[in-house]
Homo-oligomer: A and B are copies of this chain.
Amino acid sequence: MLSVPGLDNRYLQQGNNLLRKMSQLQRIAIAPSQLQQGQILLTKEQQHYLRRVLRLREGDRFIAMDGKGKWWLAQLAGEQARVLEALLVETELPVSITLMVALPKGNGFDEVVRCCTELGVTCIAPVLSDRTLLHPSPQKLERWRRIAAEAAEQSERSFVPTILEPVTFNTAVTANQTIHSYICEARGEYPHLKKVLNSISDEIVIATGPEGGWTTQEIENAIAFGFQPVSLGRRILRAVTAPVVALSLITAACEV
């Protein structure tokens, strides 16, 4: 799955610890033009995302991907990142997919994490919406990360998706905006998600709602931050089904 140029296969097979550690690294999407002479020039938003959202510190390593299938192991250094090596990755999608999910009741989120990891999600952001009933304990976050690690291995992925700490929907909306940000809404006459997927280049953020749907204010707030409302079809999907359906469509569109 993961092959690092410069290391021979024997080393790779013996180096399970190295691989396991690398597979847990966080990922961000960069534009090819950001890579200059072995350095990645990070945007203000990327610096914020790496340090504040992903909680990386100076010298920490992460994966940069250019949305065209190129991957680099990089190390955070001030406003830049040093490229340590190029990576060869075969079972990962060429784009960064962030899924924002309003936490469903009960243990429903376990299955969302499992399915979406199998499908190839990059980052899952659990959010507390106005209609969210669940307020998860810190143990839940550990549990979801363990499920993601297991599912990544079972589905033969090279990397484990990042599971962010739960925040309110409005906080998540400001932290996760990108050119391609979508919010799924069952009611209303919005275009089907399939119709907007042709234009995805390097990263996409998609949000799915809680039981009972988003409030009007949440939708309006998301739109104000550049999210485009989309439909997943004419039938009403449960809060645990919608993320899997959205991810199915996105990953199929991105699969090379």
Contact = CB atoms under 8 A, between A and B. Distances in A.
Interface of A: 90-91, 111, 114-115, 118-120, 154-157, 192-194, 232-238, 241, 244-245, 248-249, 251-253, 255
Q: Which of A241, A249, A253 has the most CB of B within 10 A?
A: A241
A90 B234 contact: yes
Contacts of A234: 90-91, 255
A118 B249 CA distance: 16
Counted per complex, copies of this chain come to 2
Contacts of A233: 119-120, 251-252, 255
A71 to B, nearest CB: 15
13 contacts: A90-B234, A91-B234, A91-B235, A114-B238, A114-B241, A119-B241, A120-B235, A155-B237, A194-B255, A233-B252, A234-B255, A241-B244, A244-B248
Nearest to A242: B118
Contacts of A245: 119, 244, 248
A252 B255 contact: no
Contacts of A249: 248-249, 252
Contacts of A194: 252-253, 255
A238 B111 CA distance: 12
